[in-house]
Amino acid sequence: MQPFVTLRKILQQKLNIHSPALHRNTNLKRDLDMADWEWHYLLNAVEQAWKISLPPAETEEIVHVKHLLAIVKKQVPAGFAKGIRV
């Protein structure tokens, strides 16, 4: 499953956010109108989906979808696009 598709599923299933305009340059907080608790819930769901731990220093730099996926890819380069359960 492609990482972008996995992220879309996380947003839909865990946070009930259905954005047809979601793309790599989507500003996660502003464009999706996320509250702080939703932001933290998203980060937790991403950690669980990919079985990783997102460093707090790096999560502060996340603005767009592409930033989040880059951090995930850095931690799981070999299994980034496969074996992901939501």
User: Does 81 map to a domain?
Assistant: no
Q: In this structure, is residue 83 part of a structural domain? A: no
* pLDDT digits 0-9 by tens, 36-80: 999 999 999 999 988 899 999 999 999 999 999 999 988 886 666
Q: Confidence band (pLDDT; 50, 70, 90) for 86?
A: very low
**In DSSP terms, which residues pair with 64 in a beta bridge?**
27
Residue 29 CA to its chain's centroid (Å): 11
- The SS3 assignment for 27 reads strand
Instruction: Note the pLDDT of residue 4.
Output: 86
State how many domains the chain has.
1
53: containing domain: 3-75
Tokens, residue 24: 């790599």
* pTM of structure: 0.85
At 59 the pLDDT is: 92
63 with 39: CB under 8 angstroms?
Answer: no
Is 41 among the domain residues? yes
Q: How many CA atoms lie within 13 A of 52 on its CB side?
A: 22
Residue with tokens 């731990």: 53
Residue 56 sits in a domain whose CATH number is: 1.10.1200.10
Does 85 fall in a domain?
no
In a domain, 28, yes or no: yes
